[in-house]
Amino acid sequence: MTDLTSLSASALSAMIAGRRVSAVEVMQAHLDRIARVNPGLNAVISLRPADDLLAEARAADAAPRRGWLHGLPLAVKDLALVKGIRSTSGSPIFADLVPAEDDALARALRATGAILIGKTNTPEFGLGSHSFNPIFGVTRNPYDGSRTAGGSSGGAAAALAARLVPIADGSDMMGSLRNPAAFCNVYGFRPSYGLVPSDPVGDTFLHQLSTNGPMGRTVEDVARLLESLARPDPRLPHSRPPEAYSDGLDSDPKGARIGWLGDWGGAYPMEPGILGLCETALETFTALGAHVEPVAPPFPAEKLWDAWITLRSFAIAGGVAPLHANPKTRALLKPEMLWEIERGLALSAMEVHRASTLRSQWFATLAALFQTYDALVLPSAQVWPFPVEWRYPETIDGHPMDTYHRWMEVVIPVSLVGLPALALPAGFGPQGLPMGMQLFGPRGADRAILRLGQAYHRATDWPARRPPAL
């Protein structure tokens, strides 16, 4: 009998639609696997009672089909608010929060027929690419339980790789879809900023650094989940019209021009083996007929970093400063959050303006570069999955890191200007640890990037290499 947990979300969707399998059978298979595997990983948290989930699956089997996710079990990243499910953001401040309403992401998933079974683990408030928090503990890497699954979508990536869920949502400010995808050998897609809406709460004009997005074990699943999440909202100033991302996904990449940025001329320290693995993975595109060539650093890395840490602290402080103002909640904030808020509160308007001017210059530089290249590539991470006991890497190949997040600097050229980026699995290092690379293009080129990713997936299918111990 087919192991239902091994199938893609698209395959399961077709089977449920064709009555070849029931939503109850799919739910039971995933619940059984969660019971068996999740205790060693801690990827899925706040799991709803099995009887309630099976009852919901039976109701799905008897109801008209709502969408392609109809009857599929999904666990939502614990930064999202989900009605009736504990939604903590990994913070003791919200340890007991059970929302009365869904947020935009949860509503979109339910509208397409998904059954929301619980949450996936995340760092406290999503800060830091290592998924641990004082409520649920640490999420472990399915390929090596002594190593991190990354973050902040670490629980989602680990749950996908371990076949606990068929598909997952994530979010990305500083590589939170791309880093865990690389560490767990799955796909993660950061869409063009504005394509996937959030609720119109607080400022909706200035803070363009973070977005929700899809994760999956196939590019088709990623494209289809993007269709479910990309719902224009006229209340949002950066809202973008969606496309049929899964239509015409299979295309010939012959003649596509891809630029390899490597380590940005040495500006981004890399652990040994990462660059070589990515360069080997890029040979797949060459074999498919694309033109791949190295690109010199197009902009000073230090200017990008300066703009990034200013705009990031500005955004974070704007969102959670009230928690800092209250002594009781301030005492419960982790040091990284205090650092961000206090930096953000100390910024002047002109400092933010200068950072945004640098961002604007980088966007214009990229626009010129994309006249030559269809896509650019960087590694998705600068380090291999590191020990779970670490808070964060303090050095990279002998280079000291001066902040808690400098070790993820390679993701900010994309994040700073809201570009679409697909995290592609690139294979495994000598220790059996996964790594990946980020394929990105101009804003609005989401469909083109997914098509290139589909050609790569057809030729490689790295996620089919399951964790050996699972």
| Residues noted as catalytic | 77, 152, 176
- Which regions of 53-163 does DSSP assign to beta strands (E)? 73-77, 115-120, 132-133, 137-138, 140-141, 144-148
User: Does residue 89 have a cis peptide bond before it, meaning omega lies within 30 degrees of 0?
Assistant: no
Tell me which residue of 41, 61, 57 sits closest to 49, measured CA to CA: 57
Task: Please count the residues of the chain.
Answer: 470
User: Token digits for 62?
Assistant: 């008897």
- Rounded Cα distance between 347 and 313, Å, is 9
CB 214 within 8 A of CB 226: yes
- Rounded Cα distance between 398 and 262, Å, is 19
Helix (H, G, I), strand (E, B) or coil at 49: coil
Residue carrying structure tokens 């767990």: 184
CB 385 within 8 A of CB 183: yes
Q: Give DSSP secondary structure letters for 391-406.
A: SS-SEETTEEPSSTTG
Residue carrying structure tokens 């929301």: 116
User: Token digits for 276?
Assistant: 């070589």
Question: 202 burial class (0-12, 13-18, 19+ CB within 10 angstroms)?
Answer: exposed
Q: Give DSSP secondary structure letters for 261-296.
A: -TTTTTTS---TTHHHHHHHHHHHHHHTT-EEEE--
Region for 427 from its dihedrals, namely left if φ exceeds 0, alpha if ψ lies in -120 to 50, beta otherwise: left
Q: Which residues contact 470 (CB under 8 A, 6 or more apart)?
A: 37, 142, 162, 163
Cβ atoms within 10 Å of 283's Cβ, excluding its own? 10
Q: Which residues contact 256 (CB under 8 A, 6 or more apart)?
A: 285, 289, 290, 291, 374, 375, 452
Tell me which residue of 16, 70, 38 sits closest to 160, measured CA to CA: 38
Beta-strand relationship, 211-216 and 187-190: antiparallel
